[in-house]
A and B are shown apart, each in its own frame.
Chain A
C-alpha cells in the first residue's frame, strides 16, 4: 500500500515526458486482487512493462551519451576561450555551463532512480502475486529482470560519478557568503532546475520510506535506510531543505504531506 502511494507521488513529481513510463503498480495490484488472476495474463503484463522500461531507458541513455559529449566540448571551447582569465565577461557562460552540468547530473540520477523504482515495484508486485496465489513466480522472474537492459545502470552511474568529479575540480567550494537562506530559497527554485530538484527530493523521501522497515519485513526486504548516519552533512542539508521548502510555497505540498525527518 505504501509503495503504491510513493510511486504515484514520484510519478507526479517526475519530468512530464517520463510520467507514463513507470510501472503500473496499481493496475497490477488490482489484477492480483481479482478472483482468479491468470498467470499468463499477469506475466504478459509484466513483460510488456519491462519492454516499456527497456525501450525508454535505452533511449534516455543514448540521449545522455550524446549530451555528455556535447557538454564536454562546450567546456573545452570555453576553456580555450577564457584560458586563465578571470574575465567577468565569461562569468555568465560559466554559470550557464555549471547550471547545465548540475541539471544533467540530476537527470541521469533520476534515470537511475527510475530504473530502481521500477525494479522495486516489480519485486513487490511479484511478492504480492505469490502471496495471493501461493505461486513461486517471484524468484525466477526476478532473475530475468536482473538481466534486463533497464536494470543495468552501470554506464549512467559511471557518467554521474565523472561529472561529480568534474564539478569538484572545476568549481571548488566557494566560501559561504550567503546572506541568510531566504534569498537562496527564492533563487533555488528559479535557477536550480526546479523540476529536477523536486523530483530528486521526492525520490529520496520515497527511498527513506521504503527502507523504514515494514510489517511484512522478511527475507527479501531491504534493511532500514538510516540517512542520519551518512558522512555527507545530510542532517544539515535536510534541515536546510526543510527550511527552503517552507519558504517556497510551490514546494509546500511536498513537505507538509511527507516530511517526517526527525
Chain B
C-alpha cells in the first residue's frame, strides 16, 4: 500500500544501517573520522600494494647464472633475452618508469609500428603517451595544470626505488614526466586515522587518491563550516579536514565533482517546489497516479531484483577466482620447494646424472595442472638435458578436464 511509505521504525530498520544513513543520530566527530570500517584491502599498503622489494616469481628461461636467482626478481618481469639477474636489478633502479626489465638494447620502449598497426581504434600514432592522455579523467588533467606551487620532489621520486612502485604501468619512459607522475600506480588511500609512510609525502601531490565515505563526510563537514560549496576554498577545506597525505589537488578535484553532483539533481528535482501542479482534481491525481505508480514500482522492483542477482553472482565469481589463484599459488610454492630440494640433492650427489623423481605426483595432487608442466620446464632448464617426460613446451599443451 503506497500510503505506508514511511520511514518509521515499523519496518525493522537494522540499527547499523540506521546509524550510517541518518546523521541525525548523534555521533561525535571523532567517532566519525576515526572509525575504521574497511578491511585492509582498501588501504594503501603493506598488504595492498606490494612494493618492488617483494619478490615475485617471474618467468625465467634458462639462466646462464644458474640457480641462485631461481626465478625471482624484484617485482618486475624478465624478458626472454634477459640473462643475468644483476643486470635486471640495475636496470630497474636506473630507468625512470620501467615496466619490464629489458636488456639495454631494448631500452627504447616505444612500440614498434608493425605490431601495433591496426590493433587499436585510435588515430594512427605509435606513441602510447598521446593515446593514454585522451583516456585520463579530468582530475588528472587538473593535477597537471595546477600551479599551486607544490612541486613534488622529482629527484627523490625518480631515484628512489622504494618510493616509486616498480609495478607501475607506463610502458614509455620517454613521455612527459608530469604525466608519468600522475599515472604512477602507487595507490594512495587517505584517511585521517591512517599513518602515512614518510617517503610518500612528497609524492602524494600527484598520486591517485582513493576516497572513502568517512573522508568524504569530513569533506562535507568542512564545506558546511565554510559556508557551502560555492564559498569554500580548497585551501581552507584542506586545512579543516586536516588529513595527512591529502593534498590540495585532491581537494580541488573532489570539490569540483561535489559541485557538479549537487547542481545536477536540483535541475530536475526540486524538493522545495510544490509537486503535481498540472493535474486537475485530487481524485484524478489519486486514481491515475496510483495505477501508474504501481506499475512503475513493479518495474523498479524487477530492475532491483535483476541487479541484486548480478551483484550476488559477481561476488560469488570473485570469491571463486580468488580461490583458484590462491590454490595455484600454493601449488606453485610446493613445486618450487620440491625443486629446491632436488637442486640440493643434485649438488650433494656425486654422480653426474641425477635421477629425477616424480616431482609432480608427490607435490601436486593433480598432475594435470599446468603447474606440473611449469615444473618440468624449470627442471629441464636447471639441468640441461634431462627432461622428465615428452611434454612439449610449446603451444600444443592441452588442459585436461578436471573432474
In the complex, which residues of chain A have a beta carbon less than 8 angstroms from the beta carbon of B318? Answer: 116, 153
Residue B201 at the A interface, CB < 8 A?
no
Task: Say yes or no: A48 contacts B57, CB within 8 Å.
Answer: no
Given A91-B2, A109-B314, A116-B318, CB of A218 within 8 Å of CB of B303: no
Task: Say yes or no: A86 contacts B3, CB within 8 Å.
Answer: yes
In the complex, which of the residues A27, A106, A211, A220 contacts B307, with contact meaning CB atoms closer than 8 Å?
Answer: A106
In the complex, which of the residues B210, B275, B310 contacts A58, with contact meaning CB atoms closer than 8 Å?
Answer: B210
In the complex, which of the residues A93, A141, A170 contacts B271, with contact meaning CB atoms closer than 8 Å?
Answer: A93
Task: Say yes or no: A142 contacts B325, CB within 8 Å.
Answer: yes
Residue B313 at the A interface, CB < 8 A?
yes
Task: Say yes or no: B393 contacts A86, CB within 8 Å.
Answer: no
Task: Say yes or no: B169 contacts A152, CB within 8 Å.
Answer: no
Task: Say yes or no: A65 contacts B306, CB within 8 Å.
Answer: no
CB distance from A235 to the nearest CB of B (A): 12
In the complex, which residues of chain A have a beta carbon less than 8 angstroms from the beta carbon of B282? Answer: 88
Task: Say yes or no: B14 contacts A165, CB within 8 Å.
Answer: yes
In the complex, the chain B residue whose C-beta lies closest to that of A188 is B299
Given A63-B261, A131-B395, A140-B58, CB of A40 within 8 Å of CB of B109: yes
In the complex, the chain A residue whose C-beta lies closest to that of B286 is A88
In the complex, which residues of chain A have a beta carbon less than 8 angstroms from the beta carbon of B41? Answer: 152, 154
CB distance from B238 to the nearest CB of A (A): 16
In the complex, the chain A residue whose C-beta lies closest to that of B269 is A96
Task: Say yes or no: A178 contacts B294, CB within 8 Å.
Answer: yes
The contact string, 1 if C-beta is below 8 Å from chain B, for chain A 121-145, is 0010000001111111101111110
Given A132-B395, A157-B311, CB of A63 within 8 Å of CB of B325: no
Q: Which of B28-62 contact A (CB under 8 A)?
A: 37-39, 41-42, 48-50, 56-59
Alpha-carbon gap, A182 to B22, bound state (A): 38
Task: Say yes or no: A184 contacts B48, CB within 8 Å.
Answer: no
Q: Which of B5-34 contact A (CB under 8 A)?
A: 5-8, 11-14, 17, 20-24
CB distance from A193 to the nearest CB of B (A): 7
In the complex, the chain A residue whose C-beta lies closest to that of B60 is A136
Instruction: Name the residue among A43, A201, A216, A217 with the largest chain B CB count within 10 angstroms.
Output: A43
Task: Say yes or no: B261 contacts A98, CB within 8 Å.
Answer: no
Given A76-B24, A90-B275, A96-B269, CB of A187 within 8 Å of CB of B50: no
Residue B297 at the A interface, CB < 8 A?
yes
Residue B324 at the A interface, CB < 8 A?
yes
Residue A23 at the B interface, CB < 8 A?
no
Task: Say yes or no: B325 contacts A30, CB within 8 Å.
Answer: no
In the complex, which residues of chain B have a beta carbon less than 8 angstroms from the beta carbon of A47? Answer: 99, 168-171
In the complex, which residues of chain A have a beta carbon less than 8 angstroms from the beta carbon of B371? Answer: 219
Chain A interface main SS type = helix
Given A74-B271, A178-B295, CB of A197 within 8 Å of CB of B306: yes
In the complex, which residues of chain A have a beta carbon less than 8 angstroms from the beta carbon of B211? Answer: 61-62, 65
Residue A174 at the B interface, CB < 8 A?
yes
Task: Say yes or no: A218 contacts B402, CB within 8 Å.
Answer: yes
Task: Say yes or no: A133 contacts B4, CB within 8 Å.
Answer: no
In the complex, which residues of chain B have a beta carbon less than 8 angstroms from the beta carbon of A82? Answer: 6
Residue B357 at the A interface, CB < 8 A?
no
Residues of B within 8 A of A (CB): 1-8, 11-14, 17, 20-24, 37-39, 41-42, 48-50, 56-59, 77, 79-80, 99-100, 102, 106, 109, 111-112, 115, 119-120, 128, 132, 135-137, 139-140, 167-171, 183, 185, 187, 208-213, 216-217, 220, 254, 257-258, 261-262, 265, 269, 271, 274-276, 282, 285-286, 289, 292-315, 317-318, 320-322, 324-325, 327-329, 332, 366, 368-371, 374, 377, 393-395, 397, 399-402
Starting from the known contacts A40-B100, A59-B137, A113-B314, 17 additional A-B residue pairs (CB-CB under 8 Å) come to: A51-B169, A51-B170, A63-B261, A67-B261, A102-B303, A109-B314, A120-B321, A123-B321, A136-B377, A139-B325, A155-B42, A162-B20, A165-B14, A192-B300, A200-B303, A218-B402, A222-B324
25 contacts between A and B (CB under 8 A): A39-B80, A39-B100, A40-B102, A47-B169, A51-B169, A62-B210, A65-B216, A74-B271, A76-B24, A91-B2, A93-B271, A98-B297, A105-B307, A109-B314, A137-B59, A146-B322, A154-B41, A162-B17, A169-B13, A170-B5, A187-B298, A192-B300, A218-B402, A234-B309, A241-B306
Which 5 pairs between the two chains have the least Cβ-Cβ distance?
A218-B399, A44-B171, A47-B169, A188-B299, A86-B3
Residues of A within 8 A of B (CB): 20-21, 24, 27, 30-31, 34, 38-41, 43-45, 47-48, 50-52, 54-56, 58-59, 61-63, 65-70, 72, 74-79, 81-86, 88-96, 98-99, 102, 105-106, 109, 112-113, 116, 119-120, 123, 130-137, 139-144, 146-149, 152-155, 157-160, 162, 164-178, 183-184, 187-188, 191-193, 196-197, 200-201, 203-204, 207, 211, 216-220, 222-223, 225, 227, 230, 232, 234, 237, 240-241, 244
